[in-house]
Structure 1
Amino acid sequence: MKADLHSYLKGGRDALLWKLDGLGEYDIRRPLTRTGTNLLGLVKHSAFCETLYFGVVFGRPFEPELPYAGDGADPNADMWATADETREEIVALYRRAIAHADSTIEALALDEVGRVPWWGDAAVTLHRVMIHVIAETQRHAGHADIVRELVDGAAGLLPGNDNLPAGDESWWLDHRRRVEQAALDASGRGNEHVVDDRPLRDRRDVP
């Protein structure tokens, strides 16, 4: 069971890092939602989460302590990269956090108990922590899917397995047009609204 859980965790990690491939500094950092969601920030945040749940919870602290951890840290400091923080530094941090987490996963049994200070010092097993971090990581991988598609239209699950229907750009434009028209029809506006079938990356209203 541990191997299965670990496999799903590794898949989410790989997807997050893959979403950075082929993009410049601006595009991996640019905020594409009202709350500032961005690709490099998702990686930075995920590194932070791994150090907490597989480090602090089981008395195996990650060293050195991250500067954006603790009560005095700026709110949301782990969700974006400053201009001075390089892509290479944050990716390397994530890989170190992963190695630290994996050492915890390999060393402990699934029924090993740790404590989560930010959950009111609740007692939790490694099994529960792995499920929690899998959910967290896969959720952020989904965020990264959408952000990357907004940046340049690229989509897919993992390298070599996009998990999408086979279709060229024309097929996807037609598909999007049908989805948009269905939404308009359901809203009662019907054909009163002109369907904008350009790719998202070509629209002026996309940040």
Structure 2
Amino acid sequence: MIDDFAKRYLHDDLCEVRESVLWKLDGLGEADVRRALVPSGTSLLGLVKHLAHSDATISALAVDAPGHVPWWPRPDVMLFNVLVRVLTETCRHAGHADILREQLDGATGEGRW
């Protein structure tokens, strides 16, 4: 029971933060969403692409499904570990999106999660 709750809770939070990142693209043209504003080449569209394609895996697997991420310090993981990591990384990228959007047109995330 707690496994289903934990998975749903983490996935719901992940979806909410992703929605916030997508909101940062609202009202911008294609050139702006593709524009790299920092030396690393990061763009709003690049962040969105980086954060896509995990929902199917989360839906298909149990929260305790085993996995292996060879470049992580503790490579043998469960879906739970990956969910926490992806949520943390997505929150970090939401902050990056805030900064990029503000550089483009001064818009800030006030009033939005």
**TM norm structure 2:** 0.82
Q: How far has the Cα of 1:121 moved from its partner? A: 8.4
Q: How far has the Cα of 1:120 moved from its partner? A: 7.4
The runs of 4+ residues in structure 1 deviating greater than 3 Å are 117-121
Q: Which residue of 2 aligns with 1:7?
A: 12
Residue pair 1:114, 1:124 contacting (<8 A) in 2 also: yes
Equivalent residue for 1:16, pick from 21, 46, 50 = 21
Q: Gaps spanning 5+ residues in structure 2: where?
A: 1-5
The one of the two structures with greater contact order (alpha-carbon pairs below 8 A, sep at least 6) is 2
Q: Which residue of 1 aligns with 2:31?
A: 26
Distance of 2:57 and 2:46 partners within structure 1: 24
Q: Deviations over 1:127-180 (max 9, x none)?
A: 1000000011111111001110111111116xxx425xxxxxxxxxxxxxxxxx
* Structure 1 pair 105–45 and aligned structure 2 pair: CA distance change class (3 A): closer
Q: How far has the Cα of 1:113 moved from its partner? A: 0.8
Residue pair 1:109, 1:126 contacting (<8 A) in 2 also: yes
Q: How far has the Cα of 1:107 moved from its partner? A: 2.8
Residue pair 1:42, 1:144 contacting (<8 A) in 2 also: yes
The answer as to 2:49 corresponding to 1:44 is: yes
Distance of 2:58 and 2:77 partners within structure 1: 14
**TM norm structure 1:** 0.48
The answer as to 2:85 corresponding to 1:132 is: yes
Name the count of aligned residue pairs. 108
Q: Gaps spanning 5+ residues in structure 1: where?
A: 48-96, 164-207
- Percent same amino acid among aligned pairs? 56
Alignment of 1:23-172 (within 5 A): 23-47=28-52, 97=53, 101-119=54-72, 122-156=75-109, 161-162=111-112
- The amino acid that maps onto 1:27 is D
Residue pair 2:20, 2:112 contacting (<8 A) in 1 also: no
CA RMSD between the two structures: 2.0
Distance of 2:96 and 2:79 partners within structure 1: 25
Residue pair 1:155, 1:162 contacting (<8 A) in 2 also: no
